[in-house]
Amino acid sequence: MDQATSLRQIKKQQEVKKNAEAGSPHEKMPKQESIRVIAITSGKGGVGKTNIAANLAYALSSMNQKTLILDADTGLANIDLILGLTPKYNLYHLLNGQKTLAEIIIKGPGGIMILPSSSGIADMADLSKGHKLTLVDEINRLKDRPDFMIIDTAAGIAANVMYFNMAAKEIIVVTTPEPPSITDAYALMKILYKNYAKKRFQLIVNMVRSPGEAKEVFGRLRTVTDHFLNIHLEYLGYVLHDEKCQEAVKRQKALMELYPSSVGSRCLRQIAEKLLKEKPEVQEEGSVVFFGDSVIGQDHG
């Protein structure tokens, strides 16, 4: 017993000496601030989700928040299209080991960083476990860490949509006053709650004619979710119908860049300010922590 104790003490002294010579890992790596990871999602296409994601990122960046957009529509990329960008590389090159994250990120309007996705590549429509591991590893290695990461998911309830919603710490659901959009928004939240135990959602009502109309949509959804689902649905805000928005899309520019004083831009700025004032749940230190083992473990290919 005495010999074993002595051996343990010697080993411990050797490890202390080795760490002192090499420098402690904690001394080498400065503490990394947590990234606020927000998924912007919808049950139905055509509700303006990508436009909201791009403009919220622009608004946060204008408030001195370093912001990265991850285009998570891995089969049909959209962010680069609406912003008039032509990336040379994209998520496909990252996940297949051809490029690093730093090599594919591009600068967008207002200083936002964009992680572009691919279009028309069938293999990207359903990410494998290996792809997920590669993505989280690359993001955790990113030196120029953002304050916010906005994940623009695809619409619907496909495997990738579920994955990126599970990956995010915060989920913003976008809907419009149209009944199919409201129904699909409810269906999306229902699946995320029942199958993945997500219990907190925020709602943006897009393309409304008045604040009252937006509140009515929220009230309808809140009534149904309170009755049938054990979730917490918060009203984040609304975006008024703005003719300038379609013009900005045609010109492939962010609405807030092209028409910063338009009614839509003012609404989006208010939403960004509200997000900035919020105090999200504390995340684990030194890690992005939005790709937990249980999420990565869901191998779909």
Using one digit for the tens of pLDDT, what is the confidence trace for 99-147?
A: 989 899 999 999 999 999 987 666 676 788 888 888 878 887 888 889 9
Using one digit for the tens of pLDDT, what is the confidence trace for 47-71?
A: 999 999 999 999 999 999 999 999 9
For residue 7, what pLDDT is reported? Answer: 52
Structural domains present in the chain: 34-279 (3.40.50.300)
Q: What are phi and psi of 160, to 5 degrees?
A: -65, -35
pTM for this model (two decimals): 0.83
Using one digit for the tens of pLDDT, what is the confidence trace for 206-246?
A: 999 999 999 999 999 999 999 999 999 999 999 999 999 99
Q: Length of the chain in residues, anyone? A: 301
Stretch 236-265: mean pLDDT = 97
